[in-house]
Structure 1
Amino acid sequence: MSSRATPVPLGSFGVWAGTWGLTPERATEIERLGYGAIWVGGSPPADLAIVETLLGATSTISVGTGIVNIWNSDAGTVADSYHRLEAAHPGRFLLGIGAGHREATEEYATPYQALGNYLDVLDERGVPSNRRVLAALGPRVLRLAADRAAGAHPYLVTPEYTKSARQILGAEPLMATEHKVALGTDRERTRAVARGAVKLYLGLSNYLANLRRIGYSDADLSGNGSDTLLDALVAQGDPESVAARLAEHLHAGADHVMVHVSPDADDPVPALAQLAPALGLKPRG
């Protein structure tokens, strides 16, 4: 599906990491391990300098943004950055954009319209629709992602969500889902890691609304989250068990799964190296 939705090669598995967790050296190693894409989180600035650095440090791996925040990054500047990156590294960059969180943005009252206006500017400035994806959770933005972008980048979701979202998107658009992982066979320890990884999002209304749509109760969402919720949102266990959980997204209709190593403060490369063989990845070089 993804090869029809966008010409940017992604492979089945990529890596999501915040700007703080990505260095040229780590990007080079992620590429060597066989992952298909690196997704830069943490609302990278409109100049996309970090994307340029990562593309320059690597040779074949694709790089996406997960996501550029439309409230913080001028659309014209982002379009100029896209064209600069495309000229230097053709076919390797996928622009992910989104409206962020109501709690962080005073202007958030009309996010859907603002997202549409942002896409209008990208259209006017020549950013192809098949070279961008939208952060999408609810049905309305999923449909917008299908109509005006290559597809959707859902975050903090389960394979059950992926199945229902695929029905809304249709067969052709790209679905690139993020899923957190905590390697280890001590479930008490991995659940503690999972709790730390999820607790921020349990205070953000867009994620709470989506988790309720999936079927989680107020009891699951209260405090730092129920064990059932944590186990659903953060894949835990040995590499084979974690890989099997990530693959459930592919079976549910995702084209590409972003592996998000928790905790964010750690260097993700050791965990990614353990996971790569279980995911069926072949080292490059």
Structure 2
Amino acid sequence: MTNANSPALGRVGIFGFWFNFERYERTELGELAAELEDLGYGALWLAAAKAELGLAGPVLEATRKFVFATGIINVWSEQASTLVKAYQEEPHRDRLLLGIGAGHRESNSAQGYATPRTAVINYLDELTAIPSGQLALAALGPRMLALAAERTLGPHPYLINPEYTASAREAIGSGPALLPEQKVVLETDPERARTIARSGIAMYLGLENYLANLRRLGFTEEDFADGGSDRLVDALVGWGDENAVAERVRAHLDAGADHVSVQVLTEDGDPRPGYRALAPALTEL
């Protein structure tokens, strides 16, 4: 990453989509963040974050260098003015990375989703008080990738594979940061691993922005049927033992990623044992 104003994310962070962080007391959330930092992870990415950044405080107060990242703050439902105010009031704001995005046509059509790029540009125009090096943009298609490279630290693509990362790096050039997410399952049995993986990607196979990107990657309607073909599942979810999972993350880094946020999928919904087990292999990358 070349932006001097951007937070130090490190090579690997964690993506906390399934955590219901609001159920934690502030002390508990701080303890969780401190453990993740001690394990060697550089950032916590919180999906579907709120503009008031209420969960950032406990994470940042309990850690030293750890970054609180959002992936994403939805431009249709969260006010830019609220985000600017929360950023300015956060004492540890130098360790914030604020990912924004336009969400999905299926859930945001009432707000005028026909013009998502325009909505994102207008939102960014309201965030001038936040350094561009502390902003990221959810991006998959070429126009959003270009916008992310131009106006923010870089793109944060989701539900992709290392081949996508390589193509995105080629598209945006060497300057902007590239911050992909990668789903993983710490399981060596193929049938069990793919069952867990299919559960983790099921909701996205009904969202057109993801399907359009997967088509660009060469997948077809047959791959999207019945919960996803083995080919699709294996492309989107890295599974196996600790070394196999680490190799999938390494593939993104080798393809041009600067930082990978790792989402551990499990049967019981608690990824913490997985992050603990994976830490030695992931944090050495």
Q: TM-score range by the shorter chain?
A: over 0.9
Deviation at 1:184, TM superposition (A): 1.3
Partners of 2:168 and 2:136 lie apart in 1 by: 15
Q: Give the distance between the partners of 2:269 and 2:20, measured in 1 at CA.
A: 8
Match of 2:39 among 14, 20, 33: 33
Q: CA deviation at 1:57?
A: 2.5
Q: Which amino acid aligns with 2:157?
A: P
Aligned CA-pair RMSD = 1.6
Task: Check the 8 A contact 2:41/2:283 in 1, yes or no.
Answer: no
8 Å contact kept, 2:87–2:93: no
Cα distance change of structure 1 residues 253 and 136 upon mapping to structure 2, 3 Å threshold:
same
- Which deviates further from its counterpart, 268-277 or 2-11? 2-11
C-alpha deviations, 1:97-119, integer Å up to 9, x for none? 00001000122121110000000
Match of 1:268 among 238, 254, 271: 271
Which whole-Å CA distance do the structure 1 matches of 2:227 and 2:197 have between them? 10
Identity percentage of aligned residues: 48
Give the Cα–Cα distance (whole angstroms) in 2 for the partners of residues 260 and 37 of structure 1.
12
Aligned partner of 2:135 among 118, 132, 136: 132
Distance 1:118 1:264 in 2: 37
Question: Which residue identity is paired with 1:57?
Answer: A
Q: Which runs of 5+ in 1 are unaligned?
A: none
Name structure 2 gaps, 5 residues minimum.
Answer: 22-28
Measure, in 2, the Cα distance between the counterparts of 1:235 and 1:281. Answer: 18
Question: What's the counterpart of residue 225 of structure 1?
Answer: 228
Distance 2:283 2:139 in 1: 28
1:10 match: 9
Normalised to the residue count of structure 2, the TM-score between the two structures is 0.93
Structure 2: how far apart are the matches of 1:21 and 1:244?
Answer: 29
1:1-285 equivalences under 5 Å are: 2-4=1-3, 6-18=5-17, 20-22=19-21, 23-41=29-47, 43-85=48-90, 88-105=91-108, 106-107=110-111, 108-123=113-128, 126-263=129-266, 266-281=269-284
**What TM-score results when the alignment is normalised by the length of structure 1?**
0.93
Q: Is the 8 A contact 1:29 1:269 kept in 2?
A: no
Shift of the 5–214 alpha-carbon distance from structure 1 to 2, 3 Å rule, reads: farther
State how far apart, in whole Å, the 1-side matches of 2:235 and 2:17 are. Answer: 22
- Contact preservation (8 Å) 1:65, 1:95: yes
Deviations 1:204-251 (A, max 9, x none): 000000000111111111221001110111110000011001110000
Give the C-alpha shift of residue 187 in structure 1. 1.3
Separation of aligned partners in 2, 1:188 and 1:81: 45
Contact 2:12 2:283 in 1 (8 A): no
1:221 partner SS: helix
C-alpha displacement of 1:58 = 1.9
Task: Tell me how far apart the structure 1 counterparts of residues 50 and 150 of structure 2 sit (CA, whole Å).
Answer: 26
Tell me the matched-pair count: 276
Check 1:81–1:265 CA distance in 2 against 1; reply closer, same or farther (3 A cut): farther
Deviation (angstroms), 1:277: 1.0
> Match for residue 26 of structure 2?
none
Instruction: Check the 8 A contact 1:156/1:233 in 2, yes or no.
Output: yes
Name the CA shift for 1:76/1:170 in 2 (closer, same or farther; >3 Å). Answer: same
1:227 maps to amino acid: D
